[in-house]
Amino acid sequence: MTTSRASGGPGPVPVPILDPSPSWLVPGERPKTILDNLLARPDATRMVRATPIQSLYLFVQSIGLGDAQDLIAMCLPAQLQGLVDLDVWDRDQLVPTRLQSWLAQIVELPPARFASHIRKLDAELLTTFLAPQVRVYDLTEKDEPPDEPEGMYYETPDRFFMVDILPSPDGDSERAVLIHRLLDHLYKGDLDLARAVINAARWDAGAETEELAYQFRSGRMADLGFVDYYEALRIYQEVDAKAKVPGSIPAKEVVVEHKRPDSLEQGEVRGTGPGGFLGADSGLWGALVPDLAEPSSLLYQVAAGLSDAERSTLLHELMYLANQAMSADRVAMDDLATTEATLQRTAGYLLLGLSHRLGSLPMEAPSLKAHSELLRTVPLVHLFRLGHSLTQAVRKLARLLVESGATSLFPADSPLSLLAPDEAAMLGALLQLRPLYPRALSEPGKAPALRPFASLRDLARAAAFIEELSVRFKLLTIGLGLRHETLRAVLATTEPDARQATWDDVLGTMIGNHLLSRPPVLVPLSRRDLPVLRQLLGDHAEPTLPELLRARCWKLIEERVHDRVLDDTEARTLLGPAQRVFVERVFQQLAKSLLTLPQSIDQATAEAVPRLAGLLLA
């Protein structure tokens, strides 16, 4: 997903998840309104310079770089360097057009301010951008330029250089104008820096220079937690959730704080410094981890036992951890929706790991003190890995279910085809590389919207759902005698076919045969059977089978299960509440489909019926 760089539209700004100070980044407010309110403040510059880089970057993306001129003008050079680091690279490749956009913004600053920003940027970055677009002639060495330039000449004010600004390969005439303004502005702001930049462009080392620029940028990104992809993947290393041996849980190490700008003292404003140092009362707590804002929640109670300094350090560690997760998931910082989803999932893993570890504490321990001590001593990355490992255990159960044949006849390319659409969506969420929790499991009847796992109860509900699907498979095969090994062949000539049929269609067809006084086996119905089935419903208008037919079908199912299953406990499991809901759903679908047919349907009309939900037609 790519986020538009256009100016802020009508939608609310999604940035507050990284809100460093609730005083100017207001949750849910429109970007343009936020910026207008900020600019109206007498301390606007002070507040901007107290804002972490990531928060600034996400806000700039939400409002659009072209509309962020006033905001960028207030940034410190260290902040601007961070913004450029986040935006102008695609993996290990510089994207010149993006850097050009940022240079076009800062070239509007007064010369001295402009030079201070350029001085903070890596010389290798500027060289990589400028060198392919200029040809430099050193006039002090009698390096005579041609009479006519390839593009447009810029003679430096000190008469040391003649710079031929070459035509842009993509026909962008504004780029040459920008480079001309950039060099001229740089000479006005810092003569020595301007000469160094031009000399570097003259002697550019090509790919080697770009590689150096990338290495410097990677080092700064690593300070924020954005480490190399393969190194970041270590964050998803699974741990043994049952391990209780002393020493199996790593001790917390001191987290190196991100550098704060020299022009601000710590404590001068709340949440100082580009790079992620945030105060304990930061709006991030409530936005990223909503449970922390709820006094009744576990996380709120545990964190309440920490001092302000400890909460601030914990938040710092949380931000670093979230950035590692973004690196591992290869999330682009300008992808606001995916960024938010990754941060929310990070918080969910922490909640799972915390809940699991707190559950293992002795009951006689002073709860608040012991719980808070866990946050002081156990690294967040361990809690993250623990939470991740717990969700992976659920994913493994889901994969075993698919491999058993309980969800599809084509597990390789259509692993959920035998399930109803809502069930397939929910199980599909559990099969993802990073499993998500379907809200419908705790709020039945709602669309299967997804969110990160956040509690042990979520895990239990997901595992129970997988178990229900497994028991359904056993009900059909062991309890009712369906031969799974021949199912694909039987469905080869039916409508719907083997790739479209569901377990609802299979059981509905077996019930249909029973209602026709035939053996309740999987034999596709003929369209000539439809008038007879429709007549069984008569004038019944309710979207379910008439009570006598329903009771007859239940009697068959219960007797068949008890005949085939000798263990009463297993038989009760196969006929448990979840499976009864499934059978009743099949009854309702069968009745609804038959009621769509005229009560006095004739054979000719029946032959024209293409398909009926809940039945397999030959």
Q: What is the pLDDT of residues 82-115, one digit of tens each?
A: 999 989 998 889 999 999 999 999 999 999 999 9
- Coil, strand or helix at 580: helix
Give the single-character DSSP code of 296.
T
Locate 612 and state its tokens: 């009926």
In contact, 332 and 402? CB cutoff 8 Å:
no
* Cα separation, 495 vs 616, whole angstroms: 6
| pLDDT at 371 exceeding the cut of 80 | no
Q: Using alpha carbons, select from 247, 7, 4, 207 the residue that is nearest to residue 124.
A: 207
pLDDT surpassing 60 at residue 324: yes
Residue 495, phi-psi category: left (phi > 0), alpha (psi -120 to 50), beta (remainder) = beta
Average pLDDT, the chain: 82
Q: In angstroms, rounded to a whole number, what is the distance separating the alpha carbons of residues 586 and 571? A: 20
Provide the pLDDT for residue 394: 95
Task: Give the end-to-end CA distance of the chain in Å, rounded to a whole number.
Answer: 44
| Mean pLDDT score, 580-591 | 93
**In which element (H, E) is residue 304 found?**
none
Q: Best-predicted range by mean pLDDT among 218-222, 290-294, 334-338? A: 218-222
Give the model confidence (pLDDT) of 31-54 as tens digits.
888 889 889 999 899 888 888 787
Per-residue model confidence (pLDDT) at position 350: 86
What would the pLDDT profile of 443-500 be if each residue is shown by its tens digit?
A: 876 666 888 998 899 999 999 999 999 999 999 999 999 888 888 888 888 888 888 9
Name the residue among 477, 347, 357 with its Cα closest to residue 405. 477
Q: Of all residues in the chain, what percent are helix, strand and coil, respectively (each to 5)?
A: 55, 5, 40
Q: Which two tokens stand for residue 613?
A: 């939900």
Please answer whether residues 143 and 137 qualify as being in contact, where contact means their C-beta atoms are separated by less than 8 angstroms. Answer: yes
Confidence of residue 331 (pLDDT cuts 50, 70, 90): confident
Percent of the chain surpassing pLDDT 90: 43
Segment 110-132 mean pLDDT: 93
Of the candidates 616, 600, 597, the one whose C-alpha atom is nearest the C-alpha of residue 608 is 597
Amino acid 436: pLDDT: 94
In the three-class reduction of DSSP (H, G, I as helix; E, B as strand; rest coil), residue 515 is classed as helix
Confidence of residue 216 (pLDDT cuts 50, 70, 90): very high
Tell me the range of 161-170, 289-298, 594-603 where mean pLDDT is highest.
161-170
Task: Report the DSSP beta bridge partners of residue 136.
Answer: 163
Q: Kindly indicate the confidence band of residue 286, based on its pLDDT and cuts at 50, 70 and 90.
A: low
CA distances from 244 to 94, 370, 392, 496 (A): 47, 16, 19, 52
Looking at residue 143, its pLDDT comes to 85
Judge whether 321 and 381 are in contact, CB under 8 Å.
yes
pLDDT digits (tens, 9 = 90+) for 143-198: 889 999 999 999 999 999 999 999 988 888 899 999 999 999 999 999 999 999 99
Length of the chain: 618
Residue 19: per-residue pLDDT: 33
DSSP string, 286-328: HHH-GGGG-TTSHHHHHHTTS-HHHHHHHHHHHHHHHHHHHHH
Q: Is the pLDDT of residue 407 over 90?
A: yes
pLDDT for 59: 84
Q: Which of 10-24, 163-177, 279-293, 510-524 has the weakest average pLDDT?
A: 10-24
Supply the pLDDT for residue 175. 92
Cis ω before 496 (30° cut-off from 0): yes
Say if residue 314's pLDDT is above 80: no
pLDDT band at 606 (very low <50, low <70, confident <90, very high): confident
CB 379 within 8 A of CB 468: no
Residue 261 has pLDDT above 80, yes or no: no
Distance CA 334, CA 69 (A): 18
Phi-psi region of 128 (alpha: psi -120 to 50; beta: other; left: phi over 0): alpha
Output the CA torsion sign for 287, 290, 296, 300.
Answer: negative
* Beta-strand relationship, 152-155 and 93-94: unpaired
pLDDT value, residue 297:
66
Residue 187: the pLDDT is: 95
Cβ atoms of 543 and 550 closer than 8 Å:
no
The yes-or-no verdict on residue 8 having pLDDT over 70 is no
